Amino acid sequence: MKTKSIASTLKLTFSLCLSLLVFSVASAQKDTTSFAKKKAIIEAQKSAYITTKLELTTAEAQVFWPVYNEYDAKKETIMKANRENNKKIKNIETLSDKETQAIIDEQLANEEKLLALKKEYTGKFTKVLSVKKVVKLEIAEREFRKELLKAVKGPKKQALDK
């Protein structure tokens, strides 16, 4: 009985967070909130989404989130380097072959780092969650990104349709 109550509370929390996400992203162009605040809101919504999708107990959440946040921060560092490379590639015609090769090498190295990081943290996650929840984590992350993209693209698409 208590589990159903927790699950329904988590679903309600998720619904509210998703609504807030859609609202905040839809009004992002008019909003004067800083990027850091928007990012914090999205991160909170992501946490609620993942907690709901994984059906984390309070005990699991207390152990899982510090490990996940560490993983996410390391992943973000690698992804930031990839974004920097993508900016360089936009000017591909002005780059020498040597510079282009350096970018390719760095991108491949970053992909290897991401894979190594994923392997390392999959092991850490399985120490605090069941294997099924670890698989659900990847699915939940992917679904959250899709929902976020839909929310971001939604208002623009509606404006184009008019």
Tokens of 38: 């928007």
Closest CA to 46 of 159, 117, 145, 161: 145
Neighbours of 29 (CB within 10 A): 8
pLDDT digits over 9-19, tens only? 445 455 545 45
The answer to whether 73 and 117 have CB atoms below 8 angstroms apart is no
What is the per-residue pLDDT across 84-131, written as a single tens digit (0 to 9) for each?
Answer: 988 888 888 888 999 999 999 999 999 999 999 999 999 999 999 999
pTM, rounded to two decimals: 0.71
